[in-house]
Amino acid sequence: MSSLKTYLTERRQDKDCLIMTHVVCGYPSFEDNWKELEIMQQFDVDMVELQFPFSEPSADGPLFVKANQAAIDSGVTVADCFEFMQKVTAHFSFKVIMMGYYNTVFKTGQEIFLQKLADAGAAGFILPDLPVDEAQELYQIGTQLDLAPIVLMTPTNTDERLAKLAESADGFIYTVARRGVTGSQTEMDNEVATFVGRCRQATDLPLAVGFGVSEKKDIDFIAKHADIAVIGTAALRAWEEGKEAALNAFFKKLLA
Amino acid sequence: MNLFDFTDGREGYYGEYGGTFLPEILHTTIEELKLEFRKAKEDPAFWQEFLQLMQSYSGRPTPVSYLENLSKKLGGAQIYVKREDLNHTGSHKINNVMGQGLLVKRMGKTRIIAETGAGQHGYATATMGARFGFDTKIYMGAHDVARQRPNVFWMENMGAEVVAVTDGQQTLKDAINECLRDWVTNMDNTHYVLGTACGPHPFPEMVSWFQSIIGKEARQQMLDNAGGLPDRIFACVGGGSNAMGLFQGFLDDEAVELVGCEAGGLGEGKGNHASRLAYKDASVGVAQGMKTYFLQNDDGNMLETHSVAAGLDYIGVNPVLVHLWEKERVRFEAVTDDEVTEALKMAMLTEGIIPALESAHGFAQAIKEAATMKPSERVLINMSGRGDKDIFTIADALGDEHWKRFIAQKADEYKAEKEG
Ligand SMILES: Cc1ncc(COP(=O)(O)O)c(C=O)c1O
């Protein structure tokens, strides 16, 4: 069992709903990222995904697409992301998860990349374009380094497939609340509850619910049906609208 | 050689290339597609239905033309051309599109999406959507919309919605990303009609299968009309579908040399071209659903590409062709924009044919090599499409003053209309 799972399971005993937030490395800048993270720490978030920007972010919605592209255009490299991650894990108490696309890992070399991740203090990694069927070698290396491979479960999966996904997973499961890409609103309804219930049947790992979480009522829903709420686009949108003040207000309302 | 027999290896892999790299949300959809495709491929009635459709709707079989004037002028090998330009909609893209259309009907889906670069694939898809009654949306890089307006015009007039993609480099790869985003949202009623032999398995196999009609016909036509098989065959390679289509007909004929012609653009050097194999600027990566050679930097981010031919202006290449290249069954060459313009002029002036800028890459390489070959030898070029669509780009490349004057006059007319 990964130490990420232990950490989350322990935190969950004291909290109704854990929070994972998301930052695109170097967008709008690393200085902005740092300020965002300070606010996230103040609100006691449990995990943060640091996204390594990629030129073909095909699973992301418009705002993150723009963020990926702008970060690359401004010269952000993979080395910069590792360096930043190192500083973040040394300074903050939340756990850090690498999020990105598989080519970033592949091009660096699977073993080298994961070793660097471990050295930078990451607790796991999420690669939405790498299906488990292609990931076995990478996951094995990750497990040896105590880096949890985070697997996505989706509403289109059969129960049989969910069981197979569960076999490869560690840390927690990222359940995708709806079809589509990141960014737009999700109606947290019976359909989502039923789907999360199916995931619960397949695994005893903590369940995170992501895609379109933006309001207090979403958090209440997730507290009832799962363990972790993933806050992505909504927080970045708040930052873009009004930096510290807006992001503070956003979390205050969300976690009231 | 059966490239698609996966019994001893991993399904969808050609050597170490290919695979299915898609977000989990599409797992069920792609499995369904694999199953339907497998059933269709094993059903002789399906291929028969496809052949009939292509005969009655697209004018197949397309002929092989002997270019007597050009052959004499060069004084080398005898030059033959497979005329995919004579298809309905003017290129080989319709072969794949109609095949996938028949599959969509079998799957009971009602909506189709497609990416397009040159616009030929979008144009063919819009045609298929109109004919079969599907709701059709075409994603096209904003940069390509600007350089291929005639095709956009026809797509829209056949009822398709054309979306100009403004992300990234605003070309083919960005249109593919946008299709993937649409597909992960609407997979229940939507099929993604991928236009080239790239992307996740089963697309490289499926598109190659529909395009194999080119090589099957061409081989027989060479035997019947040219007195024997060609010594070398040439096809341009964007994603690789017309090349795979032609090459498959000759794979087992070991004496026939297969030559893939890539976009050399402005010449060697990162960012100047779209040549993945002939130049040494690309490396193996995983993106857009597959593992293959990509034009990328050390961080795995994709490079800018350049070609005068929008349809060849792509970062990746069909994984089967990479495998065949490593096994030295296919040779890869790059042709620069300037060489393409010269070849195009020569084809028009000596033979009265207008190859698409993409196809003209094959012509340029064949012309170069034919001149050094013996008159007893034969070469075959795949004329993947016709050049009418490129009239704006070609006119610019040729610096045609009459055309410029005409456009300026039209612009004045429209302006007066708007103001009046
Ligand atoms: C006429 C023509 N030829 C060739 C291509 C390149 O595609 P492929 O390599 O898949 O044949 C295109 C693509 O748009 C095209 O329009």
In angstroms, what is the span from residue B285 Cα to ligand 1's centroid?
A: 22
Q: Is residue A90 part of a domain?
A: yes
**Percent with pLDDT over 90 in chain A:** 91
In angstroms, what is the span from residue B134 Cα to ligand 1's centroid?
A: 24
> In this predicted structure, what is the pLDDT of residue B389?
79
Nearest CA to ligand 1 atom 14: B311
Query: Do residues B73 and B100 share a domain?
Result: no
Q: With 90 as the cut, is the pLDDT of residue A188 above it?
A: no
- How far away is chain B from the Cα of A219, in angstroms, using its nearest Cα? 23
Q: Is residue A205 part of a domain?
A: yes
B304-324 mean pLDDT = 95
- How far away is chain B from the Cα of A195, in angstroms, using its nearest Cα? 13
User: What confidence category does residue B36 fall into, taking pLDDT thresholds of 50, 70 and 90?
Assistant: very high
> In this predicted structure, what is the pLDDT of residue A31?
98
B256-277 residue pLDDT tens: 999 999 999 999 999 999 999 9
**Percent with pLDDT over 90 in chain B:** 91
> In this predicted structure, what is the pLDDT of residue A86?
98
B74-97 mean pLDDT = 98
B26 and A CB contact within 8 Å:
yes
User: What confidence category does residue B210 fall into, taking pLDDT thresholds of 50, 70 and 90?
Assistant: very high
3 state SS of A220: helix
Query: Do residues B187 and B299 share a domain?
Result: no
Q: How far apart are CA B181 and CA A98, in angstroms?
A: 22
Nearest to B234 by CA among B214, B220, B213: B214
Nearest CA to ligand 1 atom 4: B358
A96-123 mean pLDDT = 98
Q: Within 10 A of A62 (CB to CB), how many other CB atoms are there?
A: 14
Q: Residue B19 is encoded by which pair of tokens?
A: 């695979």
Q: How far apart are CA A148 and CA A97, in angstroms?
A: 9
Nearest to B381 by CA among B3, B89, B77: B77
Supply the pTM of this predicted model: 0.96
A146: alpha, beta or left? (left if phi > 0; alpha if psi -120 to 50): left
Residues with CB under 6 A from ligand 1: B 91, 93, 117-118, 120-121, 196, 236-243, 311-312, 356, 358-359, 384-385
User: What confidence category does residue B8 fall into, taking pLDDT thresholds of 50, 70 and 90?
Assistant: confident
Task: Report chain B's C-alpha Rg in angstroms.
Answer: 20
Contact across the interface for B21 and A130, Cβ inside 8 Å? yes
Mutate to test the interface with A, among B27, B183, B296 (most CBs of A within 10 A): B27
Q: How far apart are CA B224 and CA B242, in angstroms?
A: 22
Using CA of residue B173, residue B175, residue B176, residue B181, what is the dihedral sign? positive
> In this predicted structure, what is the pLDDT of residue B62?
98
Q: Is residue B274 part of a domain?
A: yes
Nearest CA to ligand 1 atom 13: B311
B353-368 mean pLDDT = 97
Q: Is residue B310 part of a domain?
A: yes
User: What confidence category does residue A186 fall into, taking pLDDT thresholds of 50, 70 and 90?
Assistant: confident
Using CA of residue A80, residue A86, residue A92, residue A96, what is the dihedral sign? positive
A139-168 residue pLDDT tens: 999 999 999 999 999 999 999 999 999 999
**Domain holding B391: CATH number?**
3.40.50.1100
Query: Do residues B123 and B167 share a domain?
Result: yes
Q: How far apart are CA B234 and CA B212, in angstroms?
A: 15
Query: Do residues B232 and B377 share a domain?
Result: yes
Atom of ligand 1 nearest to the CA of B197: 10
Q: Is residue B8 part of a domain?
A: no
Q: With 80 as the cut, is the pLDDT of residue A184 above it?
A: no
Contact across the interface for B180 and A128, Cβ inside 8 Å? no
A205-255 residue pLDDT tens: 999 999 889 999 999 999 999 999 999 999 999 999 999 999 999 999 999
- Which of B204, B233, B264 marks a domain boundary? B204
Q: How far apart are CA B265 and CA B270, in angstroms?
A: 11
**B85, B120, B389: residue to mutate for ligand 1 pocket, most atoms within 8 A of CB:** B120
Cβ neighbours for B227, distance < 8 A, ≥ 6 positions apart: none
3-state percent helix, strand, coil for chain A, nearest multiple of 5: 55, 15, 35
Q: Mean pLDDT for chain A?
A: 96
Domain count, chain B: 2
Query: Do residues B136 and B271 share a domain?
Result: no
Query: Do residues B309 and B386 share a domain?
Result: yes
Terminal CA-CA length for chain A: 33
* CA neighbours closer than 13 Å in the CB half-sphere of residue A218: 23
> In this predicted structure, what is the pLDDT of residue A1?
79
In angstroms, what is the span from residue B388 Cα to ligand 1's centroid?
A: 14
> In this predicted structure, what is the pLDDT of residue A160?
98
Burial of B374 (0-12, 13-18, 19+ CB in 10 A): exposed
Query: Do residues B195 and B331 share a domain?
Result: no
Q: Is residue B282 within 8 Å of B296, Cβ to Cβ? A: yes
Q: Is residue B12 part of a domain?
A: no
Q: Is residue A256 part of a domain?
A: no
B22 and A CB contact within 8 Å:
yes
Q: Is residue B418 part of a domain?
A: no
3-class SS string, A112-137: HHHHHHHHCCCCEEECCCCCHHHCHH
B385-414 mean pLDDT = 91
Q: How far apart are CA B157 and CA A215, in angstroms?
A: 43
Write phi, then psi, for B18 (nearest 5 degrees).
115, -130
In angstroms, what is the span from residue A72 Cα to ligand 1's centroid?
A: 30
Q: Is residue B282 part of a domain?
A: yes
Query: Do residues B152 and B295 share a domain?
Result: no
Q: Is residue B146 part of a domain?
A: yes
> In this predicted structure, what is the pLDDT of residue B12?
98
> In this predicted structure, what is the pLDDT of residue B405?
95
Cβ neighbours for A67, distance < 8 A, ≥ 6 positions apart: A24, A27, A51, A53, A236
User: What confidence category does residue B339 fall into, taking pLDDT thresholds of 50, 70 and 90?
Assistant: very high
Closest residue in B to A54 (Cα) is B301
**Contact residues, chain A, for B25 at CB < 8 Å:** 152, 154-156, 176, 179
Query: Do residues B78 and B152 share a domain?
Result: no
Q: How far apart are CA A28 and CA A24, in angstroms?
A: 8
Q: How far apart are CA B34 and CA B44, in angstroms?
A: 17
Q: Mean pLDDT for chain B?
A: 96
Contact across the interface for A131 and B20, Cβ inside 8 Å? yes
Q: Residue B351 is encoded by which pair of tokens?
A: 């033979």
Nearest to A196 by CA among A219, A226, A174: A226
Structural domain boundaries, residue A139? 3-251
Q: Residue B146 is encoded by which pair of tokens?
A: 């600007």
Q: How far apart are CA A66 and CA A71, in angstroms?
A: 8
B199 and A CB contact within 8 Å:
no
Q: How far apart are CA B134 and CA B128, in angstroms?
A: 8
Helix (H) or strand (E) holding B115: strand B111-116
Q: With 90 as the cut, is the pLDDT of residue B392 above it?
A: no
Contact across the interface for A102 and B28, Cβ inside 8 Å? no
Query: Do residues B221 and B322 share a domain?
Result: yes
Q: Is residue B9 part of a domain?
A: no
B131-142 residue pLDDT tens: 999 999 999 999
> In this predicted structure, what is the pLDDT of residue B148?
81
A54, A106, A181 ranked by CB distance to B184: nearest: A181
Structural domain boundaries, residue B97? 21-55+92-204
**Domain holding A191: CATH number?**
3.20.20.70
Domain count, chain A: 1
**B100, B312, B315, B386: residue to mutate for ligand 1 pocket, most atoms within 8 A of CB:** B312
Query: Do residues B365 and B378 share a domain?
Result: yes
Burial of A217 (0-12, 13-18, 19+ CB in 10 A): exposed
Q: How far apart are CA A77 and CA A74, in angstroms?
A: 9
**Which residues between 29 and 68 in chain B have a beta carbon less than 8 angstroms from any beta carbon of chain A?**
29
> In this predicted structure, what is the pLDDT of residue B147?
78
Peptide bond into B204 cis (omega under 30): no
DSSP B169: T
Q: How far apart are CA B235 and CA A70, in angstroms?
A: 37
Query: Do residues B267 and B138 share a domain?
Result: no
Contact across the interface for B181 and A158, Cβ inside 8 Å? no
Q: How far apart are CA A49 and CA A79, in angstroms?
A: 17
